[in-house]
Every structure is written in structure tokens, then in C-alpha cells.
A and B are shown apart, each in its own frame.
Chain A
Amino acid sequence: MAAEEESAVKEPLDLIRLSLDERIYVKLRSDRELRGKLHAYDQHLNMILGDVEEIITTVEIDDETYEEIVRTTRRTVPFLFVRGDGVILVSPPLRTA
């Protein structure tokens, strides 16, 4: 008789397991964010994402006015491996206006 698959949520990595094949939001180091479909991950938070949008945020300070200019750069990649040591957090996509 096959044992029942243990799909209880016991630890944080189990929460990520719930998002497999779903779209997720990933915050990375160096002011980067990713939004894509989670296809694979491991305990290091190495991940494979599909249909990914990467958002890089930079802040420039004007020499004269000292005002902060926030810029975002976006690009899309169809299929991406992300190394886990750059990951800060993983979440379902945020519902922003």
C-alpha cells in the first residue's frame, strides 16, 4: 500500500511548494525584482522561473537639486535559472494598482 504523500505545510519551504506552477514575486539583492511562474526550486532557493519580468530599480541624485530620480528598467526572459544566494524573499504576486 503506497504511503500518503505528506503535503502538510510544516516549514517555510513548504509554503513555497504551494506556489509551484503559480506566478510569484521574488525580491533579489541589488534592488532587483522578478515576477514569473515558479517551475522549480531547492533548499538554497535556487529557482527556475518561466515568463519572467525583471525590474531593476536605480536612484540617481541630481548634482544641483539633490533630488532623487527613481528609475526602473524592465526586461522579460522566457525561461530563467536564478541562483539562490541572491534571493531575499518569495511571495505570491503583490496586488498593486
Chain B
Amino acid sequence: MLFFSYFKELVGKEVTVELKNDLEIRGTLHSVDQYLNIKLENTRVVDQDKYPHMLSVRNCFIRGSVVRYVQLPPDGVDIDILHDATRREARGA
């Protein structure tokens, strides 16, 4: 549940989701769930000329399993909190 909690903290921030099909979508994180499915608002495709499929899409739901990376704002969450949470999670799992 570590990353679920982390993403909940990031709701409202701008992120770039890179999918496994190489599509990169930039948007505001609206919500996330336990499967790390993501809902983005105000979306824009990063390379619009290469991927014109979603020119008119402004909000989307992304299945967690198709995500490769999420580029995050560096000031999203305190790094030390992340380290402590990871140590606790690693012990419990």
C-alpha cells in the first residue's frame, strides 16, 4: 500500500505518465486506487505530432498495468518519509 499512499499525497500535482506503448501523457493527478490505476485531468500528450490519437482528450483513466513510468514532481513528498515508509513496508511484507 506504500505507493498507493504516496500517490494519494500527490493528487493535484502535475505528472507525466509514460505507458508501455511509449505514449507519454502529462496531466494533473485526479485520483488513484489500490491497483495504481490513475485518473488524470487536463491531459496533453507529450509528443502530439507523433501521437495524434488523443488530441481532444482532456481527462482519462489509465489502467495501472499499462504504466511503465510516472515522472514525478521532485518536491512532491519528503524523501526521508519515503525511506522510513519503505523500511516499514519491507519489514511487514
Chain A contact residues (Cβ within 8 angstroms of B): what range?
A: 20 to 34
Contact A40 B72 (CB under 8 A): no
Instruction: Count how many chain B residues have C-beta atoms less than 8 Å from C-beta atoms of the other chain.
Output: 26
Residue of A nearest to B3 (CB): A46
What 0/1 pattern do residues 43 to 87 of B give for CB contact below 8 A with A?
Answer: 000000000000000000000110111111110100100110111
Chain B residues whose CB sits within 8 angstroms of the CB of A6 once the complex forms: 91
A39 to B74, CA, bound (A): 12
- For B93, list chain A residues within 8 Å (CB): 13, 42-43
Pick from B68, B86, B87, B90: contact of A86, CB under 8 Å: B68
> Complex: how many Å from CA A71 to CA B93?
40
- B82 partner, pick from A17, A48, A78, beta carbons under 8 A: A48
A17-B87, A20-B86, A50-B79 are known contacts. Are A83 and B2 too (CB-CB below 8 A)?
A: no
A80 CB within 8 Å of chain B: yes
Closest to B70 in A: A81
CB distance from B38 to the nearest CB of A (A): 10
Chain A CB within 8 A of B89 CB: yes
Q: Please name all residues of chain A whose beta carbon is closer than 8 Å to the beta carbon of B8 when the two chains form the complex.
A: none
Residues of chain A touching chain B, judged by Cβ–Cβ distance below 8 Å, are: 5-6, 13-14, 16-17, 20-21, 39-43, 46, 48, 50, 77-83, 85-86
Q: Which B residues are within 8 Å of any A CB, using their own CB?
A: 2-3, 6, 20, 36, 64-65, 67-74, 76, 79, 82-83, 85-87, 89-91, 93
Provide 25 A-B residue pairs closer than 8 Å at the C-beta atoms, listed in order of the A residue: A13-B90, A13-B93, A17-B87, A20-B83, A20-B86, A39-B86, A40-B2, A40-B6, A40-B82, A40-B83, A40-B85, A43-B89, A43-B93, A46-B3, A48-B72, A77-B69, A78-B74, A80-B69, A80-B71, A81-B69, A81-B70, A82-B68, A83-B36, A83-B65, A83-B67
